[in-house]
């Protein structure tokens, strides 16, 4: 028996600075801000460690998880947010399955 999708899961797509998803405009704006901040931080870390371009990042808190993956130029990709402490692989699988 298949389990019902978690209603707290919010999926997003982004392309050339526009974020869309089946969610509220406020959620899309929050996702966009988190994406920009995480990508900037991840790029700084990647440069310092000589790891190359960033294509994914995420963070988890006690009651929230955020993850995204994108093209190497950062202009298009997908992401997810969920209002729970979720395993990163679970969200990455959701993001990657839709790619």
Distance CA 16, CA 87 (A): 28
pLDDT score of 92 more than 90 = no
Strands 76-82 and 64-70: antiparallel
More confident residue, 47 or 1: 47
Select the CATH number that applies to the domain covering 9-97 from these four: 1.10.4160.10, 3.40.50.150, 3.30.428.10, 3.30.450.30.
3.30.450.30
Per-residue burial over 75-98, b if 16 or more Cβ lie within 10 Å, else e, is eebbbbbbeeebeeeebbebbeee
Of the pLDDT bands very low, low, confident and very high (cuts 50, 70, 90), residue 13 is very high
Q: Tens digit of pLDDT for each residue in 19-56?
A: 988 888 998 998 888 888 888 998 999 899 998 888 88
Q: Do you know the residue count of the chain?
A: 99
Q: Where are the domains of the chain?
A: 9-97
């Amino acid at each position: 028996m298949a389990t019902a999708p978690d209603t707290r899961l919010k999926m997003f797509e982004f392309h050339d600075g526009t974020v869309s998803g089946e969610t509220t405009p406020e959620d899309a704006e929050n996702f966009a801000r988190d994406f920009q901040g995480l990508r900037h931080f991840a790029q700084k870390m990647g440069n310092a460690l000589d790891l190359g371009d960033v294509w994914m990042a995420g963070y988890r808190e006690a009651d929230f998880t955020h993850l995204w993956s994108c093209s190497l130029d950062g202009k298009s990709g997908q992401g997810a947010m969920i209002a729970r402490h979720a395993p990163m692989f679970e969200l990455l699988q959701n993001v990657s399955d839709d790619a």
